[in-house]
Amino acid sequence: MIGKYIKDANFEDTGFSYTLSLISGKHKMVILYCLMEFEKVRFNELKRYLKNISDKTLSVNLKELEADRLIIRTEYPQIPPKVEYSLSERGKSLMAVLDQLCVWGENNRI
């Protein structure tokens, strides 16, 4: 099936390559999965969920996911400041793909 999409194009021009560019990295898929499970999540909750991630790395990943329009950052004007992250509609549409990765992993665990 994948061969059908890359037959007449460079790999970089394929939808597969584009999708990988959005979710590549150690933490992005886990962040997306967490947002799928818990819907609205604050920065420190994500940090606890991911365990060994620095503030800077989490912040960079969140900014990239927001720039790619996969997540929404909602800032509430209050003291202390409150920011929540959630999946955008575009991000939600990616969840079917990530869910299938989970299913495959459960069915093929060695």
* Domain chopping of the chain, boundaries: 26-107
Q: What does the pLDDT read at residue 9?
A: 61
Task: Report pLDDT for 15.
Answer: 81
Query: What global pTM score does this model have?
Result: 0.80
pLDDT digits (tens, 9 = 90+) for 83-109: 999 999 999 999 988 888 888 888 998
Class of domain 26-107: mainly alpha
- pLDDT band of residue 110 (cuts 50, 70, 90) is confident
Contact assessment for residue 18 and residue 6, using Cβ atoms and an 8 Å cutoff? no
